[in-house]
């Protein structure tokens, strides 16, 4: 029982939260900026920027080769037939893509007294961070 309590206590003290209760609504990863704004109102402040990220996709690269195979010709002899064989491998292809990042800050008492940073990428909430203990640090 003590271990369970200790684990829950440590989990609650982590810097990053998975969900947040705002004005009676649960705000969690995956929600849109519109949903969060409708439920929590305007943030105290915010920041917007574009980050460029390197992504890797795998595309098939196929080649056809011909093998010579000896087959019976139906008259007691043998004939040579060129049999096609296709070999495919997945080739990594890297590209740089833009990611629209917005960070919203909530710090007023109406939102639970613990200042929060909400990070959105391409319009979706990707994480919520508790900013407690990180104030006035330069």
Residue 10 belongs to some domain of the structure: no
**Statement: residue 16 has pLDDT above 50:** no
Contacts of 76 (CB under 8 A, 6+ apart): none
Residue 96 belongs to some domain of the structure: yes
Question: Binning pLDDT at 50, 70 and 90, where does residue 77 land?
Answer: confident
* Alpha carbon distance 41, 34 (integer Å): 10
Domain count, the chain: 1
pTM above the 0.75 mark? no
pLDDT one-digit tens code per residue, 88-116: 999 999 999 999 999 999 886 455 567 88
pLDDT computed for residue 135 by the predictor: 43
Phi first, then psi, for residue 44 (nearest 5°) are -65, -40
Query: In this structure, are residues 115 and 104 in contact, taking their beta carbons and an 8 Å threshold?
Result: no
Q: Domain of 104?
A: 20-130
Joined together, the tokens standing for residue 127 give 């994480």
């Amino acid at each position: 029982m003590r271990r369970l309590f200790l684990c829950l206590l440590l989990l609650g003290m982590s810097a990053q939260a998975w969900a947040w209760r705002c004005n009676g609504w649960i705000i969690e990863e995956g929600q849109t900026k519109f949903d969060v704004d409708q439920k929590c109102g305007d943030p105290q402040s915010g920041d917007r920027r574009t980050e460029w990220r390197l992504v890797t996709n795998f595309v098939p690269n196929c080649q056809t080769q011909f093998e010579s195979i000896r087959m019976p010709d139906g008259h007691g002899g043998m004939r040579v037939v060129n049999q096609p064989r296709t070999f495919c491998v997945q080739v990594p292809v890297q590209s740089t893509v833009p990611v629209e990042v917005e960070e919203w800050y909530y710090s007023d008492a109406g939102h639970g007294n613990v200042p929060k940073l909400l990070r959105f990428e391409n319009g979706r909430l990707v994480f919520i961070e508790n900013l407690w203990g990180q104030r006035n640090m330069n």
